C-alpha cells in the first residue's frame, strides 16, 4: 500500500536529533538574552546555571516535535497535516510541563497542535486562509506570470538592435562618461 502512494519512510531519530540541535541553539540564544536582562550580575555561566531550563525546554520541544511528526508519518504511511498536529501537541505539552499543572500541559499542547496543524493544512502559509476559495490557484499564478512577463518578440528586438538589456542611447551615454572620466577618445572605436 505504501508503494502505491509513493510514501517514503523518514529517519525519525535523525530528524529528532536535528530538531533538538536547532531548537537548542535558539534556546541558548534566548537564555543568553534572559541572562543579560537579569537585574543582578549572574555571570557568563548563568546561561547554563540560572536560565539553562530555557535551553532544555526548547531542545526537548524541537526534538520531540520532529521525532513525533516523522514517526507518525511512518506509522500512518501518509504525509498530511495530521503529522505536524500530533507533533505540535507533544511539543506544546512539553512546554506546558514548565508550569506544573495539567491544564497548562493540555492547553499548551492543544494550542501548538492547532497552530501547526492549520499552518501545514494551509500549505505552509497563513495567507491561504484569507484567499477566495472560488479562485483557482493555478489560474491565479498564470495571470501573475502573464502580467509581468515581457513578450519574446520585444526581447529579440532589443537584442537585434544591439541594445541588449539596456535602454536606447546607452552606448552613447557610456562613451561620454568614459571620455569625461578617463579622457579616452572613442570616435574611431567600433560599436558592438
* Ramachandran angles phi, psi of 81, nearest 5°: -75, -10
What was the pLDDT predicted at 52?
A: 86
Please enumerate in sequence order all residues whose Cβ is within 8 A of that of 126, keeping only pairs 6 or more positions apart, or say none.
Answer: 118, 119
Residue 3, pLDDT score: 43
pLDDT in tens, 95-120: 999 999 999 999 999 999 999 999 99
* Residue (of 61, 36, 62) closest to 50 by Cα position: 36
At 7 the pLDDT is 83
Contacting residues for 179 by C-beta, under 8 A, at least 6 apart? 185, 186
Q: What angle do CA 129, 70, 17 make, to 5 degrees?
A: 115
The 10 Å Cβ neighbour count of residue 78 is 14
Give me the pLDDT at residue 77, please: 92
CA count, 13 A, side-chain hemisphere, 167: 1
- Dump strand ranges (E) for 12-133: none
Q: 115 vs 126, which has greater pLDDT?
A: 115
pLDDT in tens, 130-165: 777 777 878 888 888 877 766 666 666 655 555 556
Angle (CA) 24-67-2 rounded to 5° is: 150
Residue 82: CB atoms within 10 A of its CB come to 17
Q: What is the pLDDT of residues 14-57, one digit of tens each?
A: 999 999 999 999 999 999 998 888 888 878 788 888 888 999 99
Averaged pLDDT, 166-181: 81
User: Which range (7-16, 55-64, 67-76, 144-153) has the least confidence?
Assistant: 144-153
Structure pTM?
0.63
Q: Residue 128 has what pLDDT? A: 64
Three cell numbers at 30?
A: 534566548
Amino acid at each position: 500500500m505504501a508503494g502505491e502512494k509513493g510514501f517514503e519512510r523518514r529517519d525519525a531519530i535523525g530528524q529528532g536529533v536535528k530538531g533538538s540541535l536547532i531548537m537548542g541553539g535558539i534556546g541558548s540564544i534566548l537564555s543568553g538574552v534572559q541572562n543579560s536582562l537579569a537585574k543582578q550580575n549572574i555571570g557568563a555561566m548563568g546561561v547554563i546555571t540560572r536560565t539553562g531550563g530555557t535551553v532544555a525546554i526548547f531542545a526537548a520541544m524541537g526534538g520531540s516535535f520532529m521525532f513525533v511528526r516523522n514517526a507518525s508519518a511512518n506509522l500512518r504511511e501518509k504525509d498530511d497535516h495530521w503529522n505536524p498536529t500530533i507533533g505540535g501537541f507533544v511539543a506544546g505539552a512539553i512546554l506546558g510541563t514548565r508550569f506544573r499543572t495539567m491544564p497548562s500541559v493540555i492547553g499548551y499542547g492543544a494550542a501548538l497542535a492547532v497552530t501547526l496543524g492549520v499552518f501545514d493544512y494551509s500549505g505552509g502559509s497563513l495567507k491561504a486562509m484569507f484567499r477566495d476559495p472560488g479562485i483557482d490557484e493555478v489560474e491565479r499564478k498564470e495571470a501573475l506570470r502573464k502580467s509581468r512577463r515581457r513578450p519574446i518578440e520585444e526581447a529579440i528586438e532589443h537584442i537585434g538592435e544591439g541594445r541588449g538589456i539596456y535602454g536606447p542611447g546607452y552606448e552613447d551615454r557610456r562613451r561620454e562618461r568614459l571620455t569625461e572620466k578617463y579622457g579616452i577618445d572613442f570616435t574611431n572605436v567600433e560599436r558592438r
